[in-house]
Amino acid sequence: MAAEAHAPTASEYIVHHLQHLQNIKQKSIVDFSVVNYDSVIVGLVLGFLALFVFWRAARKATSGVPGRFQAAVEILVEMVDNQAKANIHNAESRKFIAPLALTVFVWIFIMNAMDMLPVDLLPMLWQGATGDGHAYLRVVPTADLSTTLGLSTAVLILCFYYSVKIKGVGGWAHELVTAPFGTSKNPVFALILGVVNLLMQIIEYVAKTVSHGMRLFGNMYAGELVFMLIALMGGAAAMSLSGVLLPVGHIIAGSIWAIFHILVITLQAFIFMMLALIYLGQAHEAH
């Protein structure tokens, strides 16, 4: 009986915490029938929270001396607007892209910040609410590859949209078969160069989209793993009487990583936003 009630090992603990709350069990690396409910629900809730922050800032905005909250929002808006002007030279496009970039930055920052919560807090609350001690729940949507690739794919679709809107269907199609190696007056060479150029363009779009999503996912996934390892140090400290220095190491390591991780979650949100602006800016440029 005691053997059946044993505490999970370190590997079992990590594997359990890396499982999503899903509609069905994932059977392959790529399975579009699987929905990670936790990432979707937490992402939507945090998205509405970001919108609420913007709404509250706009509602309380005054023309006089701004308060600290309004000043912080104004600094953030100005920073994003400056980056949008530097990358998007079309003023009409900036009316949509600049607010979008601001929303993306704040939304991703809030999703990343879920990593700062205690590792077991929300999963244990969820297990208590469901009555299932083995219920799965992951609370960092950006540590889910489905979320980050979904965001980067949305940026790709916008790039296609602005490529057609700015250059026209014919202009964009001509660019796809003439850049980066140009074309030739010889029909045979022109056909060969056209195929090569098109393949290079496809590779470029795929590489940008995958790297855009993978960069955010990789950093947040690694951060999540580190917090789990630090949590295991605390668990080992609670179970050990001989490891006198282990609780001290747990507190020190947790504090240092939490402080460093504040920079990570901010930087990753900024990098994702900047890459989105750069890619959308490239969609406006003729090659």
C-beta separation of 170 from 49 below 8 A: no
Residue 118 lies in a domain: yes
Residue 236 lies in a domain: yes
Chain centroid to CA 35: 17
Chain centroid to CA 154: 12
Q: What pLDDT was estimated at residue 266? A: 95
Residue 11 lies in a domain: no
Q: What pLDDT was estimated at residue 62? A: 83
Residue 280 lies in a domain: yes
Residue 158 lies in a domain: yes
Q: What pLDDT was estimated at residue 153? A: 97
Q: What pLDDT was estimated at residue 237? A: 55
**Spatial CA neighbour of 254 closest among 237, 236, 231:** 231
Q: What pLDDT was estimated at residue 259? A: 86
User: How many domains in the chain?
Assistant: 1
Q: What pLDDT was estimated at residue 77? A: 92
Burial of 259 per CB tally in 10 Å (0-12, 13-18, 19+): exposed
Domain of 201 in residue numbering reads as 71-127+141-285
Q: What pLDDT was estimated at residue 265? A: 95
Residue 4 lies in a domain: no
Give the residue numbers marked as catalytic: 211, 215, 219
Show the low-confidence residues of the chain (pLDDT under 70): 1-7, 234-250, 287
Residue 36 lies in a domain: no
0.85 cut: is pTM over it?
yes
Sign of CA dihedral 124, 127, 133, 138: negative
Residue 43 lies in a domain: no
